[in-house]
Chain A
Amino acid sequence: MGSSTTSNESNDIPCSYIPVPDSPDAAGAAVEPRRQVKGLFVIFCGMLVLISLVAFNGYYRASNNGHEQASLAAALTKIIVEESGSETVPASSRWQQAASRGVSAGVSEKTNRLFSSSNSNGEMYPWNNSMLSWQRTAFHFQPEKNWMNDPNGPLYYKGWYHFFYQYNPNGAIWGDIVWGHAISRDLIHWQHLPLAMVADQWYDKNGVWTGSATILPNGEIIMLYTGSTNESVQVQNLAYPADPSDPLLIDWVKYPSNPVLFPPPGIGATDFRDPTTAWLTSQGKWRITIGSKLNKTGIALVYDTVDFKTYEKIEGLLHAVPKTGMWECVDFFPVSKEVKNGLDTSINGAGVKHVMKVSLDDDRHDYYAIGTYDEKNVKFIADDVKNDVGIGLRYDYGVFYASKTFFDDSKARRVLWGWIGESDAEYADVAKGWASLQGIPRTVALDTKTGSNLLQWPVAEVESLRLRSDEFKDLKAKPGSVVPIDVGTATQLDIVAEFEIEKEELEKVTSESNVDKYNCESSGGAAQRGALGPFGLLVLADDGLSEYTPVYFYVVKGSDGNLKTSFCSDQSRSSVANDVVKKTFGSFVPVLEGEKFSVRILVDHSIVESFAQGGRTTVTSRVYPTRAIYGAARLFLFNNATDVSITASLKVWQMNSAFIRPYNPDQSN
């Protein structure tokens, strides 16, 4: 299929941008009669415009007239602007009003998603089956139903990628956890296999929890995992394939003398879980690390073993960082300073840096730090102690937890899996019968240009899902404009886009004294206008822009003329429903001299994964529109900066389904 280009079309239409609507009414419940009348008037006008929109809809599609579309959108949104323009509360304080109620009592803000009690003036959105079914993804790993969480023991063996995962066979909530199992030739097309391990021993009766695989030089597979015993003590257990000649690794055996590790003295019985892949020491022993905590200090314990059956606890800690709390799902691996390839977990020496990663129980985020592994003293030392493990960089600034890497020696790459939970209410999960996804597997490597962060990028095999593409070159968007990108439906997309700020305009912009002042998470999202941003794309948008998810850059010019860039994903207008998370996620992203602003976005129904500057900063969001679904989903380019125009070039592919399904031996491959 050829690609169409809409080059050199002048798209500088003065469309008004849609600001964030009224803040949650902090005063409380009842709607004032005056606002009710105004509301009715708005609905009446809205319906008038809607009727005229429908009438003109056929004409618009036939003529493919971008001008008409944009002005219609402007007309619709003008009414919303007038209604919400009455509030003069600045965007930032609206967000503060929505803070969790626990903060005043000294409870950490980092709790999991408590909504403000007064929200959207009684607007309730009934979820119907059509909306809920749309949420299932086409090419992200998920079981056919029920709950999933952490990725477990990923490995490559005899031509198959294996993926295991925390699974509840009984419902769409966490509980009754066992190990699910699936296989794939290419990390994208998965086939479900029977459960690998269930809770059939006293030592994992209360949960067959997370673990990691180690593949020995002779090809033997060792699986270490945490069991929650019948008395809820966390222990480590050994398991291995029942039949190593079975490439599908269907059956697993638990070592008869399990558990192999109990919580050591001084460590809490429920603070001891998630053993890592082992690496070889220079003495020829295998070494693993297990996360824990001492009071509020997150720590990594170290054990050595020769046979994975008996262990020697190494004195001291591989690493510890105060005030980070319990370290879950610790991961520890080398990255090359010289080549783009991944490295086997046992590699160390010159030309190698080490990465320590933890999942913080306290805030449900995954953090990493780059540093050095001092093997002699069994210590990890971060390069930048101010951004040490748990207090510095995150793999992903959105929904991404319990992640785990493995070394894929068939392609000499290190691959990262991450659990993507739901951002909706339990009621919807129960209704739709499932909860959680896995992110698209990513390669992980050191960013040799900055030296201070990792690069993550979707595995190349995802590109095998690309169908027809549309290419758009040098689209110009003036300040405060929205430009439709005509790709047909927009629910399964792979987007690669580049942006440039008009140089002459950039030079005229006044510099700011505090270049670090912008923070995606406390900002007003894409509606908060600055001189040099926000600009980017609106994904999962409907024609009328009543629902849209901006993925954008926000640039601040410093006093030395240097630019500081943030990369964000804004859920505040992603859905008219009020029972979904409406936060903005993101962080700073390094943009080096001569680089354009670049982004890759995978849109797959209720998940949006965004990668800025080749994967220096990534944001994964869960999005639940009610209108921008199926054939009504659209894509737009936008520029809500006040002082500069931007030029964008993008290529958009429709993505095929990965047809993830149960394993059928009759179907080859």
Chain B
Amino acid sequence: MTNMKTITLFFLIALTSFPSTIHCRTLITPNDANLIENTCRRTPNYNVCIQSLKSNLASLSADIRGLALIMVKVMASKATDGLSIIGRLQRGSSGPSPALTSCAGKYNAILVGDIPQATQALQGGNAKFAESAANDAANEATFCENGFTGRSPITAQNNAMRDVSVVTAAIVRNLL
């Protein structure tokens, strides 16, 4: 009798524990979540990386190349933001300045040069051109920031541009 009880008890425990583990496996995809975290850990700015990727649902099912492409889109939106803020400042009370004009040129170069090159390089399978484009975008933001004598009115934008670009370059390096 006790044997039957033990077996039944064991069987009941097994029955109740199995479904929950099966349930877990189908709903969560741990590999993809780990890929984002592992990839971001190998960049110079884990937080910027996580924030940028997790705000885009496509990152959950993306491979490293897909993550890099998402970051390039984030770069593009930072560059667009930067350019519109620079435009607003140029039309504003202090008017255009050589530093702002120079910055506009640099952000424009990111949008018409670096972003298309990085996108095509990643889509086409020649990653090194994406790495150099991302590095260049970070440099353009740095040069823009350094162009102001005294306080820069767009430090936050330049830092954001530089940070996402540096993260993008680091992710692309995994593909080389």
Contact = CB atoms under 8 A, between A and B. Distances in A.
Interface of A: 29-31, 101-102, 104-108, 111-117, 119-124, 126, 171-176, 206-207, 209, 228, 232-234, 269-270, 325-326, 361-362, 364, 425-427, 429-431, 578-579
Given A114-B135, A114-B169, A126-B102, A361 B44 contact: no
Nearest to B121: A174
B116 to A, nearest CB: 6
Interface string B110-122: 1011101100110
A102 B44 contact: yes
- Give the top 7 A-B pairs by smallest Cβ distance, nearest first: A270-B125, A124-B147, A427-B109, A112-B132, A173-B117, A426-B113, A105-B44
Given A101-B44, A114-B166, A206-B123, 6 more contacts: A107-B44, A112-B132, A122-B147, A173-B113, A270-B127, A430-B113
Given A173-B116, A425-B140, A425-B143, A117 B135 contact: no
Contacts of B112: 171, 430
B88 interface: no
Contacts of A115: 138-139, 142-143
Contacts of B42: 105-107
A294 to B, nearest CB: 14
Residue of A101, A114, A171, A206 with most partner-chain B CB within 10 A: A114
B170 interface: yes
B139 A114 contact: yes
**Is the contact region of chain B dominated by helix, strand, or loop, or is it mixed?**
helix
A119 B144 CA distance: 11
Interface in B125-141: 125-129, 131-133, 135-140
A526 B73 CA distance: 42
A579 B109 CA distance: 14
Contact of B44 (A104, A228, A270, A364): A104
B80 interface: no
Interface string B73-113: 00000000000000000000000001100100110111011
A122 B146 contact: yes
24 contacts: A30-B150, A30-B151, A101-B166, A102-B170, A107-B173, A111-B131, A112-B135, A113-B139, A114-B139, A115-B142, A121-B146, A122-B149, A123-B146, A124-B147, A171-B113, A172-B113, A174-B126, A176-B120, A206-B124, A209-B126, A270-B126, A270-B127, A425-B109, A430-B113
B98 A426 contact: no
Given A426-B114, A430-B109, A119 B170 contact: no
A207 B44 contact: no
B120 A175 contact: yes
Nearest to B169: A111
Contact of A427 (B124, B126, B140): B140
A80 to B, nearest CB: 20
Given A114-B139, A122-B146, A427 B106 contact: yes
| Tier of interface size on chain B | 35 or more
B43 interface: yes
Contact of B143 (A113, A121, A176, A578): A578
B140 A426 contact: yes
Contacts of A206: 123-125
Chain A CB count within 10 A is highest, among B135, B139, B148, for: B139
A427 B109 CA distance: 5
Contacts of B145: 29, 117
B12 interface: no
Nearest to A362: B176
B146 A426 contact: no
A206 B108 CA distance: 25
A579 B113 contact: no
Interface of B: 42-44, 98-99, 102, 105-106, 108-110, 112-114, 116-117, 120-121, 123-129, 131-133, 135-140, 142-143, 145-152, 162, 166, 169-170, 173, 176
Nearest to B137: A426
B120 A113 contact: no
A330 to B, nearest CB: 16
A270 B121 CA distance: 11
Given A104-B44, A122-B148, A174-B121, A112 B139 contact: no
B120 A102 contact: no
Contacts of A107: 42-44, 170, 173
Contacts of B117: 173-175
Contacts of B176: 325-326, 361-362
Nearest to B99: A124
A206 B125 CA distance: 9
A31 B146 CA distance: 11
A174 B106 CA distance: 18
Given A175-B116, A430-B113, A124 B173 contact: no
Contacts of A121: 146
A501 to B, nearest CB: 40
B52 to A, nearest CB: 16
Contacts of B166: 101-102, 114
A425 B169 contact: no
Contacts of A31: 149-150
Nearest to A207: B124
Contact of B132 (A113, A124, A362): A113
B105 A120 contact: no
A112 B124 contact: no
Q: Which of B113, B133, B138 has the most CB of A within 10 A?
A: B113
B69 to A, nearest CB: 12
Given A112-B135, A122-B149, A228-B125, A426 B142 contact: no
B128 A427 contact: no
Contacts of B121: 174-175
Contacts of A270: 125-127
Contacts of B106: 425, 427
A232 B110 CA distance: 24
A624 B50 CA distance: 38
B103 to A, nearest CB: 10
A112 B128 contact: yes
B173 A111 contact: yes
B125 A232 contact: yes
B158 to A, nearest CB: 10
A269 B63 CA distance: 15
B124 to A, nearest CB: 5
A113 B133 CA distance: 10
